[in-house]
Structure 1
Amino acid sequence: MRISELSRASGVPVATIKYYLREGLLHEGQLTSATQAQYDEGHVARLRLVRALIGVGGLSVAATREVLDQLDHPADSTHDLLGAAHRSLGPAVDEDVDTSAAESLLDRLGWQVRSADRQAVRQLAAALTALEAADFPLSEDEVVSYAQAMRAIAEREVADVPLESTEAAVRYMVLGTVLVEPLLLALRRLAQVDASARRYGTR
């Protein structure tokens, strides 16, 4: 298909497709002349993925490029795949952040976190620091209750990782991280509305 047909098939404007091609988010089509190329269903699927990552996932072009690189060049083990997927995703946190409170919490939880997963540890530390700075600290017991809820979700997600191919596993982990997090946030907010209505009434 030509680029105009690719645009219709994917729902992505031609100008945006050309931008994604320039940024390396979409692989080049098969050249048929100096100014024309043919595209296939693989391009349609990649465009839909890019739109999901940038749109629903809220990733920057640079972060999207890193995620796509993980899909195209996956790590060796399933566990390393997950770590690589997480490291491709934000937010970036200053490496000098004090992680002592986060590490204490992880020790209490007994979670197996390696040095390769330091970005997530720094993100947790930054979140705890932000709560303190806003004078809205949570007790360790409250944070543990959040962690236990997340652990139950994570156990289910990890158990569902498809193992028939590395590509399928990477796709599941990356998209599951990027696209499910907005879902979790929306469900949390709706659950708060429901809990409030049940506790305080709906006047």
Structure 2
Amino acid sequence: MRLADLGERSGVPLATVKYYLREGLLPPGRRINATQSEYDESHLRRLRLVRAMIQVGRIPVATVREVLAHVDDDSLGRTVRLGAALWALPHPAEETPGTPPDVEDPSRAAALLLVDELLDRLGWSTARELGALSPAHRALVSTLATLHRLGYPLGADDLLPYARTMEQAAVHDLDRTDLLPTDRERAEYAVASAVLFEPVLLNLRRLAQSEESSRRHGL
């Protein structure tokens, strides 16, 4: 398809498509003459992903470029490729990058011990080994430390049921991801899910809470 067709099929204005090409967010098409290139379904898929990250996820262009660099890195194994792409996404609760943590903060110390205990009890060895290298680990510690500081401390027994539920969700996620034919498409799908599907899970939880409350206590 031509560039105009790509814009029409995606619903993205042509000027925006050209901007994404200039910024390296969309791979160049196959050159067919001096002034025209041809684009395929992979460009359409990538364009929709970029649009979702920027419009829905409110992710800065520079971060989108970093995420997509990992998605497109064929030198990485499947797990590392997927993990690197997800790590590059913003993690709102994470401690500010480059800021040394307050090692004397008792709430943070308690949160670190809690996360270590939780991961040990779950048997999540990869998460345990990666530790503070993982943005998700840092964000979890930061959030639990804040809860502790505000007088809402949690224990491993409190978190285990949620973690087990997430474990089952991860199985379902990977079952769906593994149906895709290439590692690049799998990484793209994982990024799209992080941006678009996590709000679905959040709102399902809130609906479920409302439903359970009405069952127990009525309206």
1:55 maps to which residue? 55
The percent of aligned pairs where both chains have the same amino acid is: 40
2:104 maps to which residue? none
Are residues 45 and 86 of structure 1, via their aligned partners in 2, closer, same or farther at CA, if it must alter by over 3 Å? closer
* Whole-angstrom CA distance in 2 between matches of 1:78 and 1:67: 15
Q: Does the CA-based 8 Å contact 2:68-2:85 persist in structure 1?
A: no
* Whole-angstrom CA distance in 2 between matches of 1:52 and 1:71: 15
Is 2:124 the counterpart of 1:111? Answer: yes
Within 5 Å, give how 1:24-63 maps onto structure 2: 24-29=24-29, 30=31, 37-41=36-40, 42-63=42-63
The TM-score normalised by the length of structure 1 is 0.80
Are residues 18 and 133 of structure 1, via their aligned partners in 2, closer, same or farther at CA, if it must alter by over 3 Å? farther
State the Cα deviation string for residues 85-113 of structure 1 (Å, max 9, x = none). 32222215346444343223222322112
Q: Which runs of 5+ in 2 are unaligned?
A: 102-107
* Whole-angstrom CA distance in 1 between matches of 2:44 and 2:134: 35
Q: How far apart are residue 128 of structure 1 and its match? A: 0.5
Which of 187, 204, 208 is residue 191 of structure 1 equivalent to? 208
The TM-score normalised by the length of structure 2 is 0.75
Within 5 Å, give how 1:62-101 maps onto structure 2: 62-91=62-91, 92-94=94-96, 96-97=100-101, 98=108, 99-101=112-114
RMSD: 2.7
Are residues 127 and 40 of structure 1, via their aligned partners in 2, closer, same or farther at CA, if it must alter by over 3 Å? same
Q: How far apart are residue 193 of structure 1 and its match? A: 2.1
Is 2:133 the counterpart of 1:120? Answer: no
Q: Does the CA-based 8 Å contact 2:53-2:195 persist in structure 1?
A: yes
Q: How far apart are residue 22 of structure 1 and its match? A: 2.9
State the Cα deviation string for residues 160-191 of structure 1 (Å, max 9, x = none). 44274322332333333333212211211221
Q: How far apart are residue 200 of structure 1 and its match? A: 2.7
* Whole-angstrom CA distance in 1 between matches of 2:195 and 2:212: 27
1:11 maps to which residue? 11
Q: Does the CA-based 8 Å contact 2:114-2:155 persist in structure 1?
A: no
* Whole-angstrom CA distance in 2 between matches of 1:134 and 1:172: 37
Q: Which runs of 5+ in 1 are unaligned?
A: none
Secondary structure at the aligned position of 2:134 is classed as helix
Q: How far apart are residue 32 of structure 1 and its match? A: 5.0
Are residues 58 and 183 of structure 1, via their aligned partners in 2, closer, same or farther at CA, if it must alter by over 3 Å? farther
Is 2:181 the counterpart of 1:179? Answer: no
Q: Does the CA-based 8 Å contact 1:81-1:170 persist in structure 2?
A: yes
State the Cα deviation string for residues 114-172 of structure 1 (Å, max 9, x = none). 22753221111011012223333333322222111111111232344427432233233
Is 2:115 the counterpart of 1:102? Answer: yes
